[in-house]
């Protein structure tokens, strides 16, 4: 991925650099080690914890007023309208949620996150791309462990495909005793709806459940210096380190409407979690399962973001927004469409191109062969050019 400067010869479309991103909700290897040390110091009990109190039988001859407090009799929860909706959601979907451990070639765990099964018959599950990436580069980890809610560990895990631009990855496990979560149409969920998030907080606190509401839809948030995630669902449900890749569930329907991926912990912010919309997850996962990768459309140019100085040099108003073409790649769609160096592209279809709407984001859901209309300025005059997109290199 590249910034806003010119692209080296032979490459396709450059990507302007977005602002500083919020924190991902995955957890790295160093944090895993610290957690392991802390939990290990607590004692050699299941899960690394020790009980702080022990339940004992009450004495038979306890004086009046000095005995233990009585324990309430168990209540029978009646299924249906009177039942606890959140409990019903957890009981229904917890078996679909997994912990994903990302390992180095020597077997050391380098990071951890969450995921959930989307196809029980074929053993497909989804997680975030940043969960399965190496900590120090953008390559995938050497191997992965998948831990289910019942503590079943699966090591026969295959990476089917991943897409850094939407932060979606697909893994496959043997299709044995699996249960899948249903992906809802994320366009249907109203703002204000009750949602449930499930994941492995801090990489160790497996099966953590939090609740909140859908705070907003259609958010656009930078994840890294080169990746801007589009059409995110904002929620105030607690999204912690290690929750990356876990489901955000619409409580009313018990369907997944998002994949938890980012949390903003800047000073003064609270309850700012973000999930990749389920419609994006479905579309990307389908294509990764089919092709193993995502092929996106490309124009075939090198360019830079138009600055006021560059606009002045071209005798354009200082407020003109767009990109300035610095190179036309030989044989590219841009060459075939007759684009020229120093052309300014202001719109792709009807979307204005500017610092907050870079070419990479506008072309995110396009594919090679798609037709687009470019609005350009050449020699001070505006015109439109029809172009058939090629394939990004």
Residues carrying an active site annotation: 130, 167, 244
HEC readout, the chain: CCCCCCCCCCCCCCCCCCCCCCEECCEEHHHHHHHHHHHHHCCCCHHHCCCCCCCCCCCCCCCCCCCCCCCCCCCCCCCCCCCCHHHHHHHHHHHHEEEEEEECCCCCEEEEEEEEEEECCCCEEEECHHHHECCCCCCECCEEEEEECCCCEECCCEEEEEECCCCEEEEECCCCCCCCCCECCHHHCCCCCEEEEEEEECCCEEEEEEEEEEEEEEEEEECCCCCEEEEEEEECCCCCCCCCCCEEEECCCCEEEEEEEEECCCCCCCCCEEEEEHHHHHHHHHHHHHHCCCCCEECCEEEEECCHHHHHHCCCCCCCCCEEEEEECCCCHHHHCCCCCCCEEEEECCEECECCECHHHHCCCCCCCCEEEEEEEECCEEEEEEEECEECC
Q: With CA atoms as reference, report the closest residue to 127 among 155, 92, 156, 97.
A: 97
Is the Cβ–Cβ distance between 4 and 226 less than 8 Å?
Answer: no
User: How many whole angstroms separate alpha carbon 359 and alpha carbon 351?
Assistant: 10
Is the Cβ–Cβ distance between 258 and 247 less than 8 Å?
Answer: yes
Place of tokens 């995630």: 229
User: How many whole angstroms separate alpha carbon 145 and alpha carbon 158?
Assistant: 10
Is the Cβ–Cβ distance between 138 and 178 less than 8 Å?
Answer: no
List 298's β-bridge partners, or say none.
390
């Amino acid at each position: 991925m590249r910034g806003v400067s010119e692209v080296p010869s032979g490459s396709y479309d450059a990507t302007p650099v977005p602002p500083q991103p919020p924190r991902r909700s995955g957890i790295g290897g160093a944090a895993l080690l610290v957690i392991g040390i802390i939990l290990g110091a607590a004692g050699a009990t299941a899960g690394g914890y020790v009980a702080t109190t022990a339940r004992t039988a009450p004495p038979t001859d306890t004086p009046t007023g000095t005995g233990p407090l009585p324990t309430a009799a168990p209540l029978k929860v009646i299924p249906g309208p009177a039942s606890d909706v959140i409990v019903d959601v957890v009981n229904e979907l917890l078996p679909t949620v997994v912990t994903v451990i990302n390992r180095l070639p020597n077997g050391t765990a380098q990071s951890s996150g969450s995921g959930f099964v989307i196809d029980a018959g074929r053993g497909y599950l989804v997680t975030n791309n940043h969960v399965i990436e190496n900590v120090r580069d953008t390559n995938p980890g050497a191997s992965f462990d998948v831990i289910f809610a019942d503590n079943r560990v699966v090591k026969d895990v295959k990476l089917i495909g991943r897409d850094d631009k939407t932060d979606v990855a697909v893994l496959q496990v043997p299709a044995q005793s699996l249960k899948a979560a249903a992906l809802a149409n994320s366009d249907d969920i109203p703002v204000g709806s009750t949602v449930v998030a499930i994941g492995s907080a801090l990489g160790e606190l497996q099966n953590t459940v939090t609740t909140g509401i859908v705070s907003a839809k259609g958010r656009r948030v930078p994840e890294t210096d080169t990746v801007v995630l589009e059409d995110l669902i904002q929620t105030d449900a607690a999204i912690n380190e290690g929750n990356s890749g876990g489901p955000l569930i619409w409580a009313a329907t018990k369907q997944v409407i998002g994949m938890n991926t980012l949390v903003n912990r800047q000073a003064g912010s609270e309850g700012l979690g973000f999930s990749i919309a389920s419609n994006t997850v479905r579309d990307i996962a389908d294509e990764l399962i089919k092709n193993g990768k995502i092929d996106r459309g490309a124009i075939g140019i090198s360019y830079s973001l138009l600055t006021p100085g560059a606009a002045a040099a071209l005798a354009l108003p200082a407020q003109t927004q767009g990109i300035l073409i610095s190179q036309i790649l030989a044989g590219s769609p841009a060459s075939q469409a007759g684009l020229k160096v120093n052309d300014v592209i202001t719109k792709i279809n009807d979307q204005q191109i500017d610092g907050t709407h870079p070419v990479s984001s506008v072309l995110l859901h396009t594919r090679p062969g798609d037709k687009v209309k470019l609005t350009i300025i050449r020699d001070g005059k505006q015109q439109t050019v029809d172009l058939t997109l090629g394939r990004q290199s």
